[in-house]
Structure 1
Amino acid sequence: MRHTLPLLLCAAILGGCSSTPSDPSGIWINQAAINAAAKDGKLRESLLAYGPNLEWQIDQKTGEAHYSNGFELGEGRLAAQEDGAWRVDFYGDYHEELEVDGPELVQKASENLPEQRFVHPDKSPVDGAPPGSAFEHALYTAYLGGTWKIVDGQGQGALVKFNPDGSLEGFPGADRYALCLAGDCAAMSGENDSIWLQNGNQGAAWIFVHDGDELEILEARNRAHIDEMPEYSPGKRAWLLERD
């Protein structure tokens, strides 16, 4: 009996500690979607398979939780649950449940969404960067990183770099780019992957095909009427790039 009480007290203390939620604070990105896109080259298909959420930003001290799906930003309130998980309540009586599982943040499966897993990015965005920047930075690095050579099209022979911050080096007639992740640009491109190329204040959408170390950029032909939302389909090839 002399040893039983301390053992029971220890068990009670440990049991109480085990149900205390781990702090989910920080930035978390959907690395599985990035890995799939980098491996297979099919961006939209990978995002649909492993999305829809691409990034979480959580601050346990303030009770704030934000997610980005590449188009929309959700803002919710964070609350600890008795089972060690976290609940994020959004406007309109909508909520998500999160749990820290070792190095991963798990967004639990719900009636509408599958389970998703997130990890901390290797590199955090600069202060003041908009939500979703960490995911985009990691995606752009994995998907378009390195040096590309224009082997066909205007500027043939030039070396091109798609920088993680969306800036573009060596590409004729463009100094910035953005990959279409979700939203209107995805609806307009249908099953095709699209990229926005911009020079100064002028830009346009292009269809692209990413196949290993080849990147084919095609004209985006609009099949819609003038009073309708654009409906793009692949047109004539404008550039073919190969990664060194």
Structure 2
Amino acid sequence: MRVALALSLLAALLSGCASHPRDPDGVWINQAAIDAAVKGGNLRQALLANGPNLEWQINTKAGQASFSNGFELGEGKITSAADGKYHIEFYGHSFEELKIKGDDLTQAASDSGPEQHFVQPKEPSPAGAPPGSSFEKALYTAYMGGKWKITDGEGAGSTVQFHPDGSVDGLPGNDRYALCLAGDCAAMSSENDSLWLEKNKHGNAWIFMRKGDKLEILQAMNQAGADDMPDLHPGPRKWLLERD
């Protein structure tokens, strides 16, 4: 009798869990894109191959969901939600379907892109942070984290650290950096990866090439006319860094 009662209670508990999918509220990031980037090769190709969206923010209480692709922000309205499935409407003419299963948020394939998968970050950005910042923080940690040694260029022998908040220590003449993920900076550098380096809010774009634990930072040479959008190509190497 006691065994039967215990089994019935367990069954009720399990069925109750199954009928209440995981709370989707909060930030979800495209970890697959980060993992692909860390393996090496071209950063933006890795993001495009696993994107285009890099982060979702969901607020079921407000009935809102938004995505960031590293350049644009799409703000949508949750028009239906049932059994872990969410229908998101954007501006009344485009839609996205999201589904929560376990620790995974799946964005269904649509006219805007292929099926994509997202997870909640271990260390999300603080409340009120700009959209996309949690993805950027996770990418910077995985892709640029650790200690790098300048093996060629100004400051040779020094240790450089790129921090998740976009600050950088030890790179001569610079205190901030930003990786180009999409948008105008991507259009200007064509198939090349680029980053922005600055000090005291004054800086320039640079081309970079990362292969494993080696990072080359090259001057960005503009081949466009004075009145045209910049067309940046790799120039002379400024620094070669190797990660410990």
TM-score, normalising length: structure 1:
0.90
Q: Which residue of 2 aligns with 1:60?
A: 60
Q: Is the 8 A contact 2:21 2:101 kept in 1?
A: no
Unaligned runs of 5+ in 2: 1-10
Deviation at 1:112, TM superposition (A): 3.4
Deviation at 1:36, TM superposition (A): 0.3
Residue type at the aligned position of 1:215? L
Q: Which residue of 2 aligns with 1:128?
A: 128
In angstroms, what is the RMSD of aligned CA positions?
Answer: 2.0
Q: Which residue of 1 aligns with 2:151?
A: 151
Q: Which residue of 2 aligns with 1:185?
A: 185
Deviation at 1:64, TM superposition (A): 1.3
TM-score, normalising length: structure 2:
0.90
Alignment of 1:1-244 (within 5 A): 22-81=22-81, 84-244=84-244
Inter-partner Cα distance in structure 1 for 2:189 and 2:115: 27
Q: Which residue of 1 aligns with 2:4?
A: none
Q: Which residue of 2 aligns with 1:3?
A: none
Residue type at the aligned position of 1:145? G
Q: Is the 8 A contact 2:220 2:235 kept in 1?
A: yes
Deviation at 1:95, TM superposition (A): 1.1
Q: Is the 8 A contact 2:54 2:68 kept in 1?
A: yes
Inter-partner Cα distance in structure 2 for 1:79 and 1:103: 23
Residue type at the aligned position of 2:54? L
Q: Is the 8 A contact 1:21 1:81 kept in 2?
A: no
Residue type at the aligned position of 2:172? P
Inter-partner Cα distance in structure 1 for 2:114 and 2:76: 19
Q: Structure 2 vs 1, CA of residues 18 and 122 (structure 1 numbering), >3 Å: closer, same or farther?
A: closer
Aligned residue pairs total: 233
Inter-partner Cα distance in structure 1 for 2:91 and 2:230: 31
Q: Is the 8 A contact 1:21 1:85 kept in 2?
A: no
Aligned-partner SS, 1:208: strand
Aligned-partner SS, 1:152: strand
Q: Is the 8 A contact 2:84 2:101 kept in 1?
A: no
Q: Which residue of 1 aligns with 2:5?
A: none
Aligned-partner SS, 1:40: coil
